[in-house]
Structure 1
Amino acid sequence: MTDITIKITDRKGVEHQILAPTDMNMNVMELIRSYELAEEGTIGICGGMAMCASCQCYALNNVLKSKRNDDEEAMLSDAYHVKENSRLGCQIHITEELDGLALEIAPEQ
């Protein structure tokens, strides 16, 4: 089992340095929910299907190399608070390559 470190700034501006398992096929949205970094019922409303943008977050460094997929692009085109570095947490799968990733949870939709 390999855990990586991810820094996530919650919606109140508090930074959390958390350990994320790479062997559980988790995504960032699930990680945020498991650490209770967002109020219950405000993140992952669609269950991680890229259909609600409630898990939108901002990539704060260059660790995340993957680009938005088509579903992510479509959902973010209709979402609020979108920035150039916006991503859907449900579309970012936890892998060893993400060690050191820094994210900020976007405001509620």
Structure 2
Amino acid sequence: MVLVSYVADNGTVHEVAASVGISLMEAAAMNDVPGIEGDCGGFCACGTCHCYVDESDAAILPDMHELERATLDFAYDVTERSRLACQIPITEQMDGIRVRLPARQY
């Protein structure tokens, strides 16, 4: 299991023990983390799992592909740290990662 912390804009932290191989979105949904909806079920079509990943963690994540980038075009408050949680599979190297949630989603 990998420890993932989802951090709301107000500072509230939701810590989740997640299985390797599922996405950050699936881990949040399975543990009722507010702010990660995943309305499309992980098909990179809705943007309701928009999150921010710290620069220090970016190197351990897969590169963003064109579909993810296009979907983020329709999300609110997108920054250079924006990602879709449905497109980030959890790996053992991610143990302890902190994922921040946009204020509009929480």
TM-score bracket, normalised by the shorter chain, equals: 0.7 to 0.9
Say yes or no: does 1:47 pair with 2:41: yes
List per-residue Cα deviations over 1:40-61 (Å, max 9, x = no partner). Answer: xx61111111111000000125
- 1:4 and 1:37 map into 2 onto residues whose CA distance is 16
2:93 counterpart letter in structure 1: E
1:58-69 counterparts in 2 under 5 A?
58-65=52-59, 66-69=62-65
List per-residue Cα deviations over 1:52-96 (Å, max 9, x = no partner). Answer: 100000012522422211111111122211011000000000111
- 1:43 and 1:10 map into 2 onto residues whose CA distance is 14
- 1:48 and 1:85 map into 2 onto residues whose CA distance is 19
Q: Equivalent pairs: percent with the same residue?
A: 30
2:97 counterpart (66, 87, 101): 101
Q: May I ask how many residue pairs the two structures share in their alignment?
A: 102
The runs of at least 4 aligned residues of structure 1 exceeding 6 Å deviation read none
- 1:88 and 1:47 map into 2 onto residues whose CA distance is 12
1:86 counterpart (63, 82, 85): 82
- 2:79 and 2:15 map into 1 onto residues whose CA distance is 23
Question: TM (normalized to structure 2)?
Answer: 0.84
1:84 counterpart letter in structure 2: E
